[in-house]
Chains A and B, each alone.
Chain A
Amino acid sequence: MSLPRLHRPSRLGFASHWSAVIFAALVLGGCVNATVDEMTYNEPAAGIGESSVVILGRRHAPDYDTEFDFIECIGDHIHSGDPSIEVINELAFINELYPWFEPRTAPMQPRAIDQLLQLPPVAQRFTEMKLEYMIWIDGNTVDTESTGSMSCGIGPGFAGCFGFGTWGTESEYEATIWDFTDKVEVGRVSAATSGQNYMPAVIVPIPIIAPVQGTACDSLGDQLLEYLSAHH
C-alpha cells in the first residue's frame, strides 16, 4: 500500500522541476530592455490617404546587412496597425527599380531622388506606385558575449545534454523617413534593445530566447505607425 506513496513525491519533484523551468522561461524570456528615440517633423495629420510607403533596408556596410525579415516585420506591423496604409514589399520594389536601389546605387540623401526622377521609366514607376514616404532602416541584431558550458553525449539507446549556457543579444536600428513629395527628410526614429538568452540542459536543452529583434520591430513599428496613421 505504501509503494505508490513512495513514487508520488518523485513524480511531483519531476513535475515541479519542469514547472520551475517553464516558469523561468516565461519570466526570463521576457527580459528585454528597449530604448526608443524619436524626432519627426511635418506629421501627416490626416494620414497618408491612398498613397503608399516603402520600407527599405540599408545594405552598404561592410560587416552587416539590415535583415530582410526585420524590414518585413516592420511593414507587417504598420499594415496590421492600420490596414489603410499600403506598404510596398521591399524585394518587389528593389527588383522593379533595378538597378537604382542596389547597395551601390541606392540614394543616400533625399535630394538624390531628383536624379532618379530624371529617368522617365523610373519617374513613371514612382507615379504608378503613388509613393509618399520612403523609410530607410539601418542596423542589425547581433549576439554578444556568451558564457557557460554544455556537454552532449550519444550512446546505444541514450542521448542527452547537460549544462548551462547564456549569451546576450543586442539590436540597434535607426529609421529615416523621407518625404517623397518634397524630397526632404522628415524624421528619424531609433530603437536599441538588448536581452539575455539562457539555455539550461538536463537531458534536453531548453532555449529561453529573449525576443530582442521582435521588441525592436514592435518599438520602431509603433513609432512609425504613430507618424503615418491618422488613427494612432
Chain B
Amino acid sequence: MILGPDSIGLGRRVVLLCLVLLIAGCSSKQVIVEGNFPEPLLDPLPITMGVIYPPAFAQHEFFDEAKGRADSDWLVKTGEAQVAFWDILLGGLFQEVVHIDSWATAQAEGGRLDGVLIPSIAELQYTVPTHTNVKVYEIWMRYEFRLVDIAAIHQQEDGALSFNPDDRLAEWPITAYGKTPTAFLQSDEEAVNLAAVVALRDAGAHFITTFGRTPGVATWLDGLSPRQASGETVSGEASAATPKPTAGAAPGTGANEAREQDTPQDSASAPAASVAIDSASMPAPHSADAPATNDPADSVNAVAEQASSTVQGEPAGATPEAAGFNEQGGTR
C-alpha cells in the first residue's frame, strides 16, 4: 500500500501525540496547595498573641526528584496555604492576633502582646500510590512551635528578626497527617492537594486540643491569669470576670488524643546562643518542654482523655515508618 500525503501527515501527528504523552508522563508535577479552611468553633482565649511567620514557613515548599523513568519530580508549595490556614485558626483561638513582620511592628505592637508564637515546619513527607502500591495519597508534617516573650525578639544586623532561645517560654512539636484515597478521574495533583488540606486541618485540630496541656504553655497561661485579672495587658480585656485561659481550650474527645503527645525526637544538641527566625533550621527542643503523656492541664482534658482511652489509637499510617513514607521526600 502506498501512503499518500494525508496518511503521512496523520502518522506524524500520531507520533507527535505519542511523544507528547511520553514527555508528559515523565515531566514534573507541581501543586500549589489551596483550600477553604473553616474557622474553629470555640470561645477564643482572652489573649493578644503576636505571630511571626518565618520566610521558610510562609514560602514553604518541598521538592522530590524522580527516582526512576516511571516517576515524576514533585514540587508541592504549601506556604500560602499554611499562612492562610494558621491565620484563620489562630484568629479563632486567640482574642486578637498581631502579625509581626518587621522590627518596627515588634516595637510598636510589642507592649500589648501576651506572647509571640513562631511556627515552623521541621519535616514533611509524602507518598503517592506509585511509591507504595497502596491506593492512598499521604502527607505527614511535623511542626515546631515556639512561644516567646516579645522581649526575646531582637533585630539582627541585616534587619531580620531573631530571638534568644534561652528566653523562650515553650517549644513543642505538632504532628499532622492527611490522606486521601485514589478516586476515579482524580489527578495526582488534586489528590496531593486534598491530602495536604486534610493534613493542615489535622494540624489545627492537634494544635487546639493540646495547646493548653503543653507544660510550658500551661505554665505561661497560669502566669497570664493573675496578670490579666490585675489589668496589666494593654488590650484591657482582662478583668475579674475573665475566664482562666485554659478553661475552654481543648477538651479532646477523639481517637488520638491520648497517644498524640509526641516527644521531641532530638534533645541532644544544645541550642545556639541566638536563633535567627528567618532560618529554616531550628534549635533542638528542650526535653523539659515536651508535652507529657499524663499531664492534663485541666479536669476537662483529663476526663476527655479517660473517655478516649477506650477507643482506637492513632492510625497506623500516621507514622512515616508504618505508612512506608519515602525517606527522600524531605523538606527543602
Residues of chain A whose beta carbon lies under 8 Å from any beta carbon of chain B: 60-65, 67, 95-100, 102-109, 111-113, 115-116, 118-122, 125, 140, 154-157
Interchain residue pairs with CB less than 8 A apart (12): A60-B315, A61-B315, A64-B181, A98-B204, A99-B40, A99-B204, A102-B254, A104-B205, A104-B206, A104-B254, A111-B307, A157-B7
Question: What's the Cα separation between A122 and B254 when bound, in Å?
Answer: 15
Chain A's closest residue to B319 (CB) is: A62
Instruction: Report chain B residues within 8 Å CB of A115.
Output: 251-253, 300, 303-304, 307
Nearest first, the 3 closest Cβ-Cβ pairs linking A and B are A62-B317, A108-B311, A99-B205
State the CA gap A100–B41 with chains docked (Å): 8
Interface residues on B, range: 35 or more
What is the CA–CA distance of A104 and B250 in the complex, to the nearest angstrom? 13
CB distance from A178 to the nearest CB of B (A): 13
Contact assessment for A105 and B252 in the assembled complex, using a CB-CB cutoff below 8 Å: yes
Known contacts A60-B315, A65-B180, A108-B311; is-contact A116 B206 (Cβ 8 Å): no
In the complex, which residues of chain B have a beta carbon less than 8 angstroms from the beta carbon of A121? 41-43
Return the chain A residue nearest B11 by Cβ: A156
* A109 and B311 within 8 A (CB): yes
Q: Give Cα A105 to B40, complex, Å.
A: 13
Bound complex: CA A183 to CA B204 (Å): 27
B215 to chain A, nearest CB (A): 21
Decide if A106 touches B255 in the complex (CB within 8 Å): yes
* With A64-B181, A98-B39, A98-B40 as contacts: A118 and B251 at CB distance below 8 Å: yes
In the complex, what residues of B have CB within 8 A of residue A63's CB? 134, 136, 317
- Say how far B135's CB is from chain A's closest CB, in angstroms: 9
B28 CB-CB contact with A under 8 Å? no
Q: B185 near A: Cβ within 8 Å?
A: no
Interchain CA distance A140-B205 in the complex, whole Å:
25
How many Å from the CB of A135 to the closest CB on chain B?
Answer: 18
For the complex, what is the distance from the CA of A73 to the CA of B170, rounded to whole Å?
Answer: 47
- Not counting A112-B307, A156-B10, a sample of 7 additional A-B residue pairs whose C-beta atoms are within 8 angstroms of each other reads A61-B315, A99-B209, A102-B254, A109-B311, A112-B254, A118-B300, A119-B248
Partner of A105, one of B134, B180, B253, B312: B253
Q: Are A107 and B254 in contact (CB under 8 A)?
A: yes
Q: Is B160 an interface position by the 8 A CB rule?
A: no
